[in-house]
Structure 1
Amino acid sequence: MSQKYTKEFKETIVQLHEAGQPVLDLVKEYGVANQTIYKWLQLYGKSKAENVSLHELQQMRKEMAQFLIKLYQSDEVVGLVDVKNFEFHLSGPLFNH
């Protein structure tokens, strides 16, 4: 019979692992199978790129575009930025909505 764990418990285990606690220690301390913990890491882990929500990804793209614009306009980098390449990156697939 499989054990039911709350979402809060699962997230706590994931946070403990992300803070540096090895899976084997979590297995011993909490009595959860290591395969179960690895599944939770995939579902709830913040360190995995595929766990970034679409909204978070769009926000990161927007922030990157704003950063690149500020960098391009900065007096410190004048002459160091290839304008054509810069414009290509801003209009490329990374910035399409």
Structure 2
Amino acid sequence: MARGQKHYTEEFKNTIVEIYNAGKSLAELNSEYAISKSTITGWIKKNKPIVVDKNTTITATE
């Protein structure tokens, strides 16, 4: 891990994504949690649902 870089648990990342999906803006999350907007955007992209077929939905990390 690079010097000065923070490590976040998957649970924390998922919580931030859920808060974003509930309506908080990137700016609000950045201000409240001191996490860069680009980091949060990356977490959001990884957790964005992808429809595989009619009954199956996965995320990019799956």
TM over 0.5: yes
Higher helix share: 1
Larger radius of gyration between Structure 1 and Structure 2: 1
* Misfit runs of 4+, over 3 Å: none
Pairwise CA RMSD of aligned residues?
A: 1.5
Which residue of 24, 29, 32 maps to 1:29?
Answer: 32
Which residue does the alignment assign to 1:38?
41
Kindly, what percent of the aligned residue pairs are identical? 31
| Number of residue pairs the alignment of both structures matches | 52
Corresponding letter in the other structure for 1:31: A
Which residue does the alignment assign to 2:58?
none
Structure 1 portions without partners, runs of 5+: 46-50, 62-97
- The normalised TM-score by structure 1 is 0.49
Higher strand share: 2
Higher relative contact order (CA 8 A, sep 6+): 2
